[in-house]
Amino acid sequence: MEHLKDWLKPDVIWFIVGIVLMLLEMAVPGLVIIFFGIGAIAVSVTCMIASPSLAVQLIIFIVVSGLSLGLLRRWLATKFFSSKDGLAGDPTVLDEFTGKTAIVDQAIAPGKPGKVEFKGTRWQAESEEEIAAGDVVVILEKENITLKVSKSSS
């Protein structure tokens, strides 16, 4: 039972949580979860040096995770991803939509949004041309929850 107490120390728990979150980033792309792993590792190191209360541990976790996410995400994205991956380069390419095709569910006309299906989800879509239901469109950009589309040339 004494051996189990060694594993239930806050520094060990935070370290394991940090490693699990960093490994989870490989399974769930997006370059977000890793920063929570960094926050957990920071709390683990803090717990090795001092014995902060749970409230202080949570504050350190939130602050370090938020700061690392806010300050490092864009920089790491440019190091690890090309602009075609959707995380680096031109900020207008920060999504998985641009350049992909979708199917029109509800007709689209200028000034009259319709609906398209993209990757199994229905999205509101706008276009500067009339597009009939069933047509294939190319996604030009994503603006909030609306996709800007045009008729596919193929």
Q: First and final CA of the chain: distance in angstroms?
A: 68
Q: Compute the mean pLDDT over every residue in the chain, rounded to the nearest whole number.
A: 85
Domain boundaries, the chain: 2-87, 95-151
Q: What is the mean pLDDT of each run of 10 residues along the chain (154 residues)?
A: 74 94 85 90 95 94 92 74 48 67 93 91 92 92 88 78
Tens of pLDDT, residue by residue over 38-67, are 999 999 999 999 999 999 999 999 999 999
Other residues' Cβ atoms within 10 Å of the Cβ of residue 31:
19
Instruction: Report the DSSP beta bridge partners of residue 150.
Output: 138
Q: What architecture (CATH level 2) is domain 95-151?
A: Beta Barrel (2.40)
Q: How far apart are CA 94 and CA 141, in angstroms?
A: 10
Query: Alpha-carbon distance 30 to 75, whole Å?
Result: 14
| pTM metric for this prediction | 0.51
Supply the DSSP string of 46-58, one letter for each residue.
HHHHS---HHHHH
Cβ neighbours around 52 below 10 Å, total: 15
Measured CA to CA, the distance from residue 130 to residue 134 in angstroms comes to 12
The pLDDT of residue 142 is 85
